[in-house]
């Protein structure tokens, strides 16, 4: 469901950066004006604070509610992976089916029940000026005013994101005046919520309009409770572009977050999600990954088919990777009573293994306890001095797939509560997978397309035996530091150069004399040597 982003030249991006830096300058922070009331989430000295003054850093994801209103379990699933915020896609009826007041009230209640801060956005404004079907910011403001009775009193829990990516690449300078007008219209209607505004250029501001006019827009809000949202996709493919943009706002003491971002490469380039997440953590800025599930192109789905048990490689990166949600998210203190919950759960009991096969095993452990509630468990593989994330579960059992036959693994478990506190590690359990059944196979591998820093690959797995293969696992090794960033037809787990692929539901069985195809995108350096050896369920496959 993500709109395509247009490519830009390095020269234009550099010029926009220089202009924006000069425009932002280092002006003193916009102090809260006399009479401004911190009724809930609010901005002070360039920071997003809760009503009690505690700093709040958003760590969460986007959820396409307006297109998938029946996926009511999604917020609970998102929370189970440690998120403290969810950005919810809504429609004012201009382009998609209007979300009613009753529906929005239910969404807010669902956010609160799952202890999530709720960012609500109107998606119909996407690409205005370039997208003929897009709505105006003024119409989005009218939609919010129509919801005032629903949103009044929710200032501790709800941020109003007026309109998603409310200007395309056509005359993006036209973004500023409608943005100011929409903010002031909401304030005149009595809204006291923190307001979020998205950038033009389909959210990526590659021409620097939001950066150059941020002070003007911020000063136009009589309450000072306004935060800017930059969307980072393929325009932000170098560390310097990312850090320069974010630091420009921080230096000017203007509040900002990464309201959407992607990591898998697209036809325009390869976003540098590692720097986005690292910079956000270093600067204590929020980030909200796009998106939980349901994208027209599933390359950006964090969970496959809305199934929390089937995180994509993109989902694993966001939740369990360095500077990810599991490591960095802290629940809003509004959900913890008079103060923040700082007490970690007890360590879970020792796991036991059952239903061990050549490629899978089920782990079960005695539950941990917590002063509030245990919300999730993180399963890790203990390998030397390293703890490698393997899976997350909202219950005290999980089935691990994609294991290598005839291999000994050591697993342990951490418990996690809603505030992000993590327990000590449980005792470990060793699991040795079964030997692989005899198989006959051949594998064809090719790089379909390559670009600077990335490539698209294809793997054709053929069953040369006489019986079907079900629940297979394919293993191979990259020699040049390549990394799988997204995969379809299977799910990849990677440890250094070694990649293990488990099947998707529709590729889980390879018929006798039949084949399945797995595609993926990956990152690479200067060389991209193809793997030379493949093992299917532990058996060496011939090259096809």
Residue 439: CA atoms inside 13 Å, Cβ hemisphere, count? Answer: 31
HSE at residue 157, side-chain half, CA atoms within 13 A, is 20
Distance CA 497, CA 530 (A): 12
Q: Is 242 exposed, middle or buried (0-12, 13-18, 19+ CB in 10 A)?
A: buried
**CA angle, 127 as apex, 124 and 133 as ends, to 5°?**
55
In the numeric block, the tokens 């899976």 are attached to: 391
* DSSP bridge pairs for 459: 445, 518
* Catalytic option among 50, 155, 165, 241: 165
Q: Residue 163 and residue 121: Cα distance in Å, rounded?
A: 6
138: closest CA among 102, 188, 101, 88? 188
What token pair was written down for 520?
């993926």
Q: Is 260 a catalytic residue?
A: yes
List CB contacts of 338: < 8 A, sequence separation 6 or more: none
Q: Which residues contact 323 (CB under 8 A, 6 or more apart)?
A: 274, 277, 278, 280, 281
* Angle formed by the axes of helices 137-146 and 176-188, nearest 10°: 20
CB 169 within 8 A of CB 131: no
Is 457 within 8 Å of 519 (Cβ atoms)? yes
Catalytic residue among 50, 131, 192, 260: 260
- Give which of 177, 246, 178 is closest to 211, Cα–Cα: 246
Q: Tokens 């005290």, residue?
A: 396
Give the span between the Cα atoms of 226 and 215, in whole angstroms. Answer: 11
510: tokens are 């390879």
3-state SS, residue 461: strand
Q: Which residues contact 78 (CB under 8 A, 6 or more apart)?
A: 60, 61, 63, 86, 114, 116, 292
Alpha helices in 133-272 (DSSP H): 137-146, 148-151, 176-188, 209-219, 239-251
The tokens for 426 are: 């449980």
Whether 102 is catalytic is no
CB 424, CB 388: distance < 8 Å: no
- Residues taking part in catalysis: 165, 260
């Amino acid at each position: 469901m993500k709109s395509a982003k247009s490519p830009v030249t390095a020269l234009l991006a550099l010029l926009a950066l220089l202009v924006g830096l000069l425009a932002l300058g280092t002006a003193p922070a916009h102090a809260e004006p006399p009479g401004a009331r911190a009724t809930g989430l609010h901005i002070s000295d360039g920071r997003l604070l809760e009503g009690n003054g505690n700093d709040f850093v958003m760590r969460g994801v986007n959820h396409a509610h307006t297109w998938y209103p029946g996926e009511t379990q999604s917020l609970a699933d998102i929370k189970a992976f440690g998120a403290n915020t969810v950005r919810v896609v809504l429609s004012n009826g201009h382009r998609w089916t209007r979300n009613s007041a009753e529906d929005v009230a239910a969404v807010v209640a669902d956010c609160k029940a799952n202890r999530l801060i709720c960012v609500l956005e109107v998606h119909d404004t996407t690409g205005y000026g370039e997208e003929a079907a897009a709505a105006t910011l003024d119409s989005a403001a009218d939609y919010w005013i129509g919801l005032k009775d629903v949103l009044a009193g929710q200032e501790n829990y709800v941020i109003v994101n007026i309109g998603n990516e409310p200007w395309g690449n056509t005359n993006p300078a036209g973004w500023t005046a409608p943005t100011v007008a929409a903010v002031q219209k909401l304030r005149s209607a009595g809204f006291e919520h923190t307001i979020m505004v998205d950038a033009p250029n389909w959210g990526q501001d590659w021409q620097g309009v939001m950066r150059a006019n941020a002070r003007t827009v911020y000063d136009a809000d009589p309450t000072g409770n306004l935060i800017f949202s930059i969307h980072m996709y393929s325009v932000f493919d170098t560390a310097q572009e990312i850090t320069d943009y974010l630091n420009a706002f921080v230096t000017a003491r203007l509040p900002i977050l990464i309201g959407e971002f992607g990591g898998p490469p697209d036809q325009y380039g390869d976003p540098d999600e590692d720097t986005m997440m690292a910079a956000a953590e270093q600067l204590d800025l929020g980030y909200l990954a796009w998106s939980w599930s349901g994208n027209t192109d599933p390359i950006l789905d964090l969970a496959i088919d809305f199934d929390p048990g089937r995180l994509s490689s993109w989902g694993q990166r966001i939740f369990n990777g360095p500077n990810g949600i599991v490591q960095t998210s802290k629940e809003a203190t509004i959900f913890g009573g008079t103060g923040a919950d700082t007490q970690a759960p007890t360590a879970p009991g020792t796991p036991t293994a059952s239903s061990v096969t050549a490629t899978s095993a089920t782990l079960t452990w005695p539950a941990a306890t917590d002063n509030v509630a245990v919300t999730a468990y993180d399963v890790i593989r203990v390998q030397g001095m390293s703890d490698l994330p393997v899976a997350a579960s909202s219950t005290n059992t999980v089935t691990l797939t994609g294991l290598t036959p005839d291999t000994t693994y050591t697993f342990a478990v951490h418990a996690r509560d809603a505030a992000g506190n993590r327990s000590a590690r449980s005792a470990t359990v060793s699991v040795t997978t079964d030997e692989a059944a005899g198989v006959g196979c051949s594998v064809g591998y090719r790089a379909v397309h390559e670009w600077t820093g990335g490539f698209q690959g294809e793997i054709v797995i053929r069953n040369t035996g006489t019986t079907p293969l079900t629940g297979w696992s394919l293993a191979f090794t990259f020699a040049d530091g390549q990394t799988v960033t997204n995969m379809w037809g299977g799910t990849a787990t990677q440890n250094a150069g070694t990649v293990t692929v488990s099947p998707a539901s529709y590729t889980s069985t390879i018929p006798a004399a039949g084949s399945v195809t797995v595609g993926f995108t990956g990152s690479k350096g200067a060389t991209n040597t193809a793997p030379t050896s493949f093992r299917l369920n532990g058996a060496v496959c011939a090259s096809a």
